[in-house]
A and B are shown apart, each in its own frame.
Chain A
Amino acid sequence: MSKTLLIAGRELGAYRRSWLGPIVIAATLLADGLFFYVMALTKPMLSAEALGQFFFWAGGIGAVAAVFLSMRLVAEERQTGTITLLNTAPVSEWEIVLGKYLALLAVVVLMTALTCYMPLWLMVRGKISLGHILVGYFGMVLYAGTVAAIGLFASTLTRSQIVAGVVGGVIAVALVLMWAVGKVVDPPLNQFFSALALHHYNFRPFMDGVLQLDKVVYYLAVTFFFLLAATKSMEARRWR
């Protein structure tokens, strides 16, 4: 575990010292603020509905930011050759992947937490529960964290950060669109596809402030699957 935390620490330092982390976080906060104003404050609605709208848009923007933040994780190291330092150290691929993921998750949590002034403003001006806010934030972190795992996996596939970003985005969008597939296929397959959807079916309860264990398990399972796939992808490279 110490090697994992060591790698996570270096990765956090790289985010802090590079332009990517601050720019993505700033852009995300700007987009969150604009959407919050346009979608939640300019129309008459209940405070709880406005909060749901905030989680809907902020969740989506956070997921997009996770793709941008994750695309460099392994691809950049392969591009610059620094991956050799990790590959030739007594560290397993799982420790490398987990270390990088924990750093990314920390950035995602920080980025998500910085939006808290919006729900708090709603709390002061309207009538919403702290539980609704906490559950919504938990869902946002789970959602963005899952997309981050997808992005990390995509980053292990190529040296190009752009290609990694595109591949990660395509996988994430495909999983989001499972909701639409679920709408057009017949039962019982519709339930299967809906349950696979990254956003709609699995994220809505969090937006409404409802914590459902099966939805939490879904996000954790998808995250674990893509982290495992990233590990296997890195292991496979040694044989090529």
Chain B
Amino acid sequence: MAVEGVPARSGPQAPGHQGGNVIEIQELYKYYDDVRAVGPLTTTIESGEIVGLLGLNGAGKTTTLRVLACDLLPTSGTVRVDGFDVVDSPREVRARTGYLPENPPLYPEMTVTEYLAFAARLRGVVSSQLKEHVETALAQARLRKRRDQVVGTLSHGFKQRLGIAQAIVHRPGVVVLDEPITGLDPVQIVEMRKLVRSLAGERTVILSSHNLSEISETCDRLLVIQDGRVGAVGSEAELSESLLGQVNVVLTVRSGPERDVAGLLSRVESVTRVETASPSEPGEGVQSFAVTATADVRPDLCRRLVEAEVDIIAVRRAAHELENVFLKLAGADEDRAEEEAEA
């Protein structure tokens, strides 16, 4: 990374270096006047991960991201990015971080190229590498055809892409994206997911989103923020198991009507319920079953079906598990609010 005036970080925590915690948050508290927005929040994020922040409105996601991007300073606690403290070394942290806030910070009077060049130079990209950095960001965000368009005339989707482009134009080790897919249409969401996934490995990405299926598909790991704290950490499946205590699987098989497939499935250990579902695809003898279990029993289910010579067409985790996790969290927050009100 060619950045003016900022010393290169050597050692195991250099930007983009594989392995090691690139983000370390310990006992972070942030108060707005007397209102606690975040805290106590403690977590670590490894280099190269794509981590999604999940939480209800007001849970503290945006505040956490703003502290990471050095836009806000913490009330107390320690936040380190690539080994640099956000309070003691904000300049170093900012040089290593790219940030897209909920509303992309765009100057409407500039052209796309002018804006990216400005953002790059602001982040310390030297003149000799400016063109290359801007061209790469334009290509990554698929904005080449819009390079000469005035920012104010771009559609919402292109503005969002430009917002991401400005966050990566200086090739930071950490990219922080707050609600990057808000207001995008389905096609744009898929493109945005590809863009974010393309950053994986090379950079550490931390993003928040209200789109549960999207955050689940894009991120390696989810960080559930509940009332300013880390409520749970893990993949969608892990969260579903730990928070809901169950795993939902949808199985599609082909068999004759004489076979009691539901009975076969219900006898597998840990299975608590088997229901017939509408077939996920057409075909003679095709049946779908919704299986609920206390653990991930997909291998056991498949083994049992193979033994019984039932053709398996598809096995997948049920959709909307994350929605159920979210609803569970919403319930927990309401309970907490009621307890606080009573107290």
Contacts and interface: CB of A to CB of B under 8 A. Distances in A.
Interface of A: 2-3, 6-7, 10, 13-14, 17-18, 80-92, 238-240
B124 A85 contact: no
* Residue among A86, A90, A91 with most chain B CB within 10 A: A90
Interface in B1-46: 3-6, 32
Nearest to A9: B118
Chain B binding surface SS class: loop
Contacts of A88: 69-71, 94, 97, 99
Contact of B122 (A3, A80, A238): A3
Contact of B6 (A13, A14, A90): A90
Interface stretch (B104-112, B135-143, B279-287): B104-112
29 contacts: A3-B121, A3-B122, A10-B107, A10-B110, A10-B118, A13-B109, A14-B107, A14-B109, A18-B109, A81-B101, A81-B103, A82-B105, A83-B105, A84-B99, A84-B105, A85-B105, A85-B119, A85-B122, A85-B166, A87-B71, A88-B69, A88-B71, A88-B97, A90-B3, A90-B5, A90-B91, A92-B91, A238-B73, A239-B73
Chain A binding surface SS class: helix
B109 A240 contact: no
A238 B122 CA distance: 19
A81 B72 CA distance: 14
Nearest to A240: B32
Interface string B71-105: 11100000000000000001110110101010101
Q: Which range contains the number of B residues in contact with the other chain?
A: 20 to 34
Contact of B71 (A7, A84, A91): A84
Contacts of A83: 105
A86 B101 contact: no
A6 B122 contact: yes
Contacts of B5: 90
Given A82-B106, A84-B99, A6 B118 contact: yes
Interface in B306-342: none
Across chains A and B, which 4 residue pairs bring their CB atoms closest together, nearest first? A85-B105, A17-B109, A90-B95, A90-B94
B171 interface: no
